Structure 1
C-alpha cells in the first residue's frame, strides 16, 4: 500500500505539484517519501524518511516529476530505500506499488548493477536500465514487467524523452487530464479538485505521457482508445473541514452513511434473490474480513442460512472447490485490495461468476465482478476503516434478513441512526470514554471478548486499538478464555466485554466472572439492562437494538481508539 503521484505538462512547478498530491496520499504510506524531477537532461531526487506532513520543496523549475509515499515491505525505513530509485546516469527514475515476488532471483542476474538499496523496486530500475540499452521506453517497460512475478504498478520518469511511462499489472493507477498537462496517481482522491476528466489503467495497459500527448497500449503494443470520464469526487469530500482529523470526521459521518444504506435497498433485494438457495462465500481482508465473519452470524441467526467467511490471505486452498452451488462475494472498501484482486482475477479466468461489495464503484474489483453492491460511504481517507465497516455491517444485516423479519431489522437500524449522534457527541465521550484513556495507557495487555455475533466485533475492536494507538489488544471468543487466555490476566488487566442484546448475554457474563476472579478490570459495553454494575468496574451503555447493537458497540471502540491515540500524541489518520 503505497502512494504514487506524477505530473508532466506546461507548468514549471511540477515538483511542488507532486508534493501536494503526495500529501493527499499519505494515508497510503508514511514510512518515507520522495520526488524525482527533471532538470536539463538529468533527473534529480529528494527523499526523506517519515511522514510527508508539512514538507515543502524550494522553488524548482521543472515540467516533469514523479513521487512516492512508502509503506515499507522490502528493506528497512531509510533514505536509501525510499522511492524514487535512479539509475546510475540519472536518466531514469522508478516508483512502484506492489511486491516483486521474484526480486531476489532477478537481483542475482544483475550482479554488475550498483544497487544502493534493499528494495525490490530497485530491481525494476536495474532491469529497465538494461532493457533501455536496445529498446524504446515502451518496449523496455513491457519486457521488464513480463519478467516480474506478483501484482505491481510501475511508474517511470525518463529524461531523454521527457516522458512518464506507467504500466499496470495489479496495482491501481489513474490518469487525470487538465489544460496544462497530465497527472497520474494511485488513487482518485489525489486528483480531486485538479482534474475534471480521468481514465483508469486496466490490467495489462501501458500509458505514455508527455507534455503534448498521451497514448495507451496493451502489452502487445496495440493502441487502446481512451475513454475519458468525469471525476465525480469534489475537493471538499477529501478535506477535513472543521474536524482536526479525518478519523473523527469519518466517525461523525456514520449516521448519514447508515441512513443511506437503509434507504438504498433495491440492489440488495436483487442480490438476495440471486443468491437464494446458494451457499454464500464471503471473502475480505482485515476489517472487511471481520464484517464477513459478523455476516456469517447474521445469516445463521436470522435465516438459518449457511455462510462461510474467509480471510483473503488464506482463501487460495478453497477457491478450487467453488462450484455452481456456491456464490462468492468479495468485500473491500477500496476494491483494490491486492489479496482479493488476485482471487477475483483467478475466478474470472476460470469463468466463475462472483460479486463484490465495495465502497468504490470505479474500482478494479467492480470491473471484474458480475455484480457490484455499493456501500456508498463516501471517501475514507483515514487508514483505519470506520464508516465503511459499519456500512458493511448494516448491509449484511439487511441482506441476511428474510422478508418476514425485514421490518424489525429496519426499525432497529433506524433507532441506531437516531442514537448514534448522542454516542459520538462530547457528553458521552466526557462521561464514559475519557476515563478509560488512563486505563489503556498504563497496561501492557488489553483484551476484549465477545459471544456469537459480538465475537467478530471483538476482533475488530482489538484491531482498531492496535492499529491506531499501537497498544497491544487481543480479541477472543468469550468461551475461549478458559483455554489459555486466563493465564495472561493479572490484577488490573483491562478486559472489555461486548454484551449482546440477546439470550447470549447471560453466557458472556459468566465468562466475565471468570476474568473478574483473576483480578481483571472489567469494562462492560452493551445495553444498560444487560450490564451488571456490580460486576463491571466501568460500563459503556448502549441502546438495546438487537443485532444492530453490535454496530453501536463498534462505533464506541472507534471513538476509544481515536481519543486514546490523540492523548498518546500519535496521528490517528
Structure 2
C-alpha cells in the first residue's frame, strides 16, 4: 500500500534518491506523493496524483528542495480523499517536524480532539497529522528529539510505520508496529529507511529488518536500533539475494507480462534441491522440525486465499483434515484451533495485516504456525514457528502471477513433506520436475489473444472448475476483474445451477477448466452443456483427455500432466487471457485502480 523512503548521506543528491525510491515503490498502489527535506529548515512538497505530477511541480517551482536528510511517501487513501492537503508528509504548525506514515492510527480522533482543545489547527483529514503535532508539542516542552519521538509513539495506538525528520537535525527517526519498515546500510555514510527493500535496492542490498516496538535512528555517522524504552537492540545485517535489475521490465511492456513469463524460472528456483527422484521423496530443509499435523487451518487473503483453497484439496487427499479461512474473518471469529493443529499463513509479502492478525490469534490459542511466503525476513517469517519460502523472486505487478504459481508449487512440497511420502509421490515429483517446461510450452503456444479478440466487447465473464481447479477458476476471475475492471466471477462448476445460471446468456463467456478424464471432468462437462444450452459461449481450458472440446467455442490447450499440476498450467492460460484483455482495453495493468500490492492495513 503506502510507500516510505528516507535517506541520509547523499548531500545534494538527496531529493533524487528519494524520488527514485518512490518511483520504485509505485507498484504498491497510491494516489498522492510527497517529499520533505530537512536542513536548517524544512522544505515540503506534495501533490495529489501520480509521482510525475510531483516531479513536474518541483520543476515548475524552479527551486528544488534541499537538505541533508529527507523522507518521501506515496499515499493510498484511508482517512480522507486524495488531495494535496491529505498527501504526506504532514507537519506541525511551526513547520519544524515532518512525518510520513503507513498504517492506521486507531485513536487518532481522541488525540485530534485533545490537540484541537489545546489550540492546534489541523490542515488535513488524515489520521497521520496527529503525529507531527504530538511530536512538536513534546519538543516545545523541552524534550530532546529521540525522547519526544518515543513519547509520541507511546500515545498512538494501531498499526504504523513512521519516519520523521526535524529541522536542524541531521537524522531520521523511524518506528514500526504491525507495518513493515526496513533499514538499508550503504557505504560512505549513506543509510536508508523504507517500507520495502526495492526502494533503496539501487543503493544497497544490506538490510536490517525492524521488529514491532523498535525505533531506528540513522544519520551520516551510522545507524542504531532501540526498544520502546530507548535501550539499544542488537540487530543482524542481512544481504538481499536479488538485485535491482531483477525488478526491471526487461523489455516487456508491463511487469505483469514479464512476471507471467518468469514463471518457469520461478518454479525452478522453488523446486531446486527439494525433489529427490531417486528416493521418491520431497525434502524441504525448512520443514525438518514440523511433524504431521492432526489438522490444518489456512489463513490468507485474495490470491493467497485461492492458493490456500488449493492446499486444502491436497491435504484432504493426503488424509489430513484441512480448512481455509479468510484471514480477516479468522482473526475476529470463533474458529477453534485443536492442540495438534497447524495454522499456515499464506502471504506473498509476509506483511499482509489481516493474515498477520490471524496468525497471532492462532498463536495466542496455542497453535503451531507456519508462514508460506516469498520474503525472507518478513514479519510473518520471523513471527511464525516455521517458514517455507516459495523463492519466486521479486514481483512488482500488483496482480500476483508468478507468486501464485510458486505458492501452489510450495503447497505440493508442504503436503508431501509432512505426509512423509504418499503412494503417488514419484509420479508427482516427475510432474513437478517437468512443470517449468510445461509452463514454457503454454507460454509459447497459447491462443489467449484469439480468445480476447472474440470476446473483448462482452461485459461479464464466468470461470468454473471442480476440485483443485475450483481455486484456479476463482483466481482466473480475480485476475480478470483486477486488471480489466470488467465483471468476472468464479464458481464451483456444480454450483452454477444453484443460482448463477440465471445470469448466463449468449453475452456471458464461460471459461471452464477441465483436465483429466475422471468423474470431476465428466461432471464439469455436464455443467458446460448447461451453459451451452443457454447459448453462452464456452472457452475450455483443457489437456485434451476428455471430450469437452466438442462443446467448446474455443480451446486453450495445456500439456497432459499429473492431476495436481494440471490446474497450475490452466492458471497460466487464464493469466494470459486477463493480461491481453486488459491490454486491449488500455487498462493500467501494473497499477490497477484502488488496489495495492501489499495490503498492510486491516
Residue aligned with 2:564, SS? helix
Cα pair distance change 1:132/1:526, threshold 3 Å: farther
TM-score (ref. length: structure 2):
0.89
| Contact 2:339/2:366 (8 A) holds in 1 | no
Q: 2:522 aligns with which of 486, 492, 506?
A: 506
d(CA) in 2 for partners of 1:185, 1:466: 30
Pair 1:415 & 2:434 matched: yes
* More displaced stretch, 355-364 vs 113-122: 113-122
| Contact 1:327/1:354 (8 A) holds in 2 | yes
Cα pair distance change 1:230/1:571, threshold 3 Å: same
Q: Return the offset for 1:269.
A: 7.2
Corresponding residue for residue 16 of structure 1:
16
CA RMSD in angstroms comes to 2.3
Residue aligned with 1:223, SS? coil
Corresponding residue for residue 150 of structure 1:
158
Q: 2:535 aligns with which of 499, 519, 533?
A: 519
Corresponding pairs, count:
568
Pair 1:161 & 2:169 matched: yes
d(CA) in 2 for partners of 1:206, 1:192: 21
Q: Over residues 209-253 of structure 1, what are the superposed CA-to-partner deviations in whole Å (9 max), with x where a residue is unaligned?
A: 223343321111112234333343322222222322221221111
Cα pair distance change 1:51/1:571, threshold 3 Å: farther
Corresponding residue for residue 79 of structure 2:
74
| Contact 1:468/1:561 (8 A) holds in 2 | yes
Pair 1:141 & 2:146 matched: no
* More displaced stretch, 140-149 vs 166-175: 140-149
* More displaced stretch, 392-401 vs 539-548: 392-401
d(CA) in 1 for partners of 2:362, 2:144: 35
Pair 1:477 & 2:492 matched: yes
d(CA) in 2 for partners of 1:269, 1:205: 30
Pair 1:215 & 2:224 matched: yes
| Contact 1:291/1:393 (8 A) holds in 2 | yes
d(CA) in 2 for partners of 1:245, 1:254: 15
d(CA) in 1 for partners of 2:32, 2:244: 25
Corresponding residue for residue 258 of structure 1:
267
Which runs of no fewer than 5 residues in structure 1 stay unpaired? none
d(CA) in 2 for partners of 1:205, 1:439: 55
d(CA) in 2 for partners of 1:355, 1:420: 28
* More displaced stretch, 142-151 vs 359-368: 142-151
Q: 1:201 aligns with which of 194, 210, 213?
A: 210
d(CA) in 1 for partners of 2:165, 2:273: 44
Q: Over residues 525-571 of structure 1, what are the superposed CA-to-partner deviations in whole Å (9 max), with x where a residue is unaligned?
A: 11223243342111111122222110011111111122222222223
| Contact 1:447/1:495 (8 A) holds in 2 | yes
Cα pair distance change 1:79/1:541, threshold 3 Å: same
Q: Return the offset for 1:85.
A: 1.3
Corresponding residue for residue 384 of structure 2:
369
Residue aligned with 1:515, SS? helix
Q: Return the offset for 1:366.
A: 1.2
Pair 1:176 & 2:184 matched: yes
d(CA) in 2 for partners of 1:269, 1:300: 23
Cα pair distance change 1:371/1:38, threshold 3 Å: same
Residue aligned with 1:554, SS? helix
Corresponding residue for residue 105 of structure 1:
110
Kindly indicate whether structure 1 or structure 2 has the higher relative contact order, using CA contacts under 8 Å at least 6 residues apart: 2
Q: Return the offset for 1:48.
A: 3.4
d(CA) in 1 for partners of 2:295, 2:147: 46
TM-score (ref. length: structure 1):
0.93
Cα pair distance change 1:12/1:250, threshold 3 Å: same
Q: 2:507 aligns with which of 468, 492, 495?
A: 492
